[in-house]
């Protein structure tokens, strides 16, 4: 089993506290149910057809979530350090995942089993409320991305990405441009063009 470091626990604590403050006693209890996994760049974390039974938080690297449409990979989400991910539909109803989760850098994650998470939520009202706030943020993030994807204009999508997507700055730190382009439904060439325009705009405003 991979040893969980103090910095790993710090990332977990910051993630939970970003939703709602939690007591130290509760955090100590949560720690007992957390395990750590590591993946090399290119390794699958979840394959199509697997049943999702975990909730995960990235403590190092970047995870890509995608599906195939006629043999073309379509990005569902990108999860950098400090944020959570899973295949939500598979997690909720126990169906085989249509998503693939892949490490696009070397990745380390903290994970908790669904049964353990549900037990903690039933046992501690405080934890149940924290998870409610966590899922609120997840839903808002997905709604904002759905909103920006409604625009046919790449420039509008790019601007909204920086304006309303909370995870944007985290994603931009370590994620190769081609994955950001896919996330925004752009070609790499379109993304490169919009990125240059955005940088010029920032330079003029400074």
Summarised one tens digit per residue, pLDDT across range 3-36 is 999 999 999 999 999 988 999 999 999 999 999 9
pLDDT reported for residue 206: 65
- Give the residues across from 63 on adjacent strands: 79, 103
| pLDDT tens sequence across 58-101 | 999 999 999 998 888 899 999 999 999 999 999 999 999 999 99
**Average pLDDT of the residues in 38-51:** 97
Q: Is 120 in a helix, a strand, or coil?
A: helix
| pLDDT tens sequence across 157-167 | 999 998 988 88
Task: Report which of 59, 5, 8, 29 is spatially closest to residue 123, judged by C-alpha positions.
Answer: 29
**DSSP annotation of 185:** T
pLDDT reported for residue 1: 62
Average pLDDT, the chain: 93
Domains, the chain: 6-205 (2.60.120.10)
Strand order in the sheet with 35-39: 35-39, 107-113, 54-60, 84-85
């Amino acid at each position: 089993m991979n040893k969980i470091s103090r910095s790993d626990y710090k990332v977990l604590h910051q993630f939970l506290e970003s939703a709602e403050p939690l007591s130290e006693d509760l955090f100590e209890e949560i720690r007992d149910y957390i395990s750590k996994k590591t993946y090399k760049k290119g390794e699958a974390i979840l394959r199509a057809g697997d049943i999702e039974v975990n909730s995960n938080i990235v403590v190092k690297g970047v995870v890509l979530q995608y599906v195939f449409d006629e043999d073309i990979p379509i990005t569902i989400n990108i999860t950098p350090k400090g944020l959570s991910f899973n295949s939500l539909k598979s997690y909720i109803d126990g169906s085989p995942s249509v998503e693939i989760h892949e490490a696009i850098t070397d990745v380390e994650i903290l994970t908790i089993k669904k049964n353990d998470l549900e037990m903690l939520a039933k046992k501690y009202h405080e934890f149940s409320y924290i998870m409610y706030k966590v899922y609120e943020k997840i839903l808002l993030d997905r709604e904002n991305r759905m909103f920006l994807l409604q625009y046919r204009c790449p420039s509008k999508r790019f601007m909204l990405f920086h304006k309303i997507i909370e995870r944007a700055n985290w994603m931009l730190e370590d994620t190769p441009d081609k994955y950001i382009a896919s996330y925004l439904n752009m070609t790499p060439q379109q993304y490169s063009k919009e990125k240059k325009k955005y940088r010029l705009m920032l330079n003029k405003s400074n």
